[in-house]
Amino acid sequence: SIQLYVTNQNEINVTANQTELQAIYISDMTGRTWHYDASGTHVKIRPPVVNGVYTVRVIGSETTRIEKVILNK
């Protein structure tokens, strides 16, 4: 399983159990996407984005998780 949460500093934390993280994609509502390579089971990202709603797609070796997050700096 993959869990993700946003801290109050707009840092996105991703933790994986029983899967290896491979990539993270963060997309805004216009379709602009930022790609981050990932490895291991824990990743912290502070994306260079403005306030808004984003879709975060986390790709693991065994599973994928897609979740909407609100970033508010």
- Residue 50 predicted with pLDDT over 90: no
State mean pLDDT over 42-57.
Answer: 92
Q: Are 56 and 21 in contact (CB under 8 A)?
A: no
pLDDT tens digit string along 9-46? 889 999 999 899 999 999 999 999 999 999 999 999 99
In whole angstroms, what is the distance from residue 35 CA to residue 65 CA? Answer: 15
Instruction: Give pTM, 2 decimals.
Output: 0.89
- Residue 48 predicted with pLDDT over 90: no
Q: What pLDDT score does 49 carry?
A: 84
Q: What pLDDT score does 10 carry?
A: 84
Order of strands across the sheet that contains 21-27: 33-37, 21-27, 52-60, 64-71
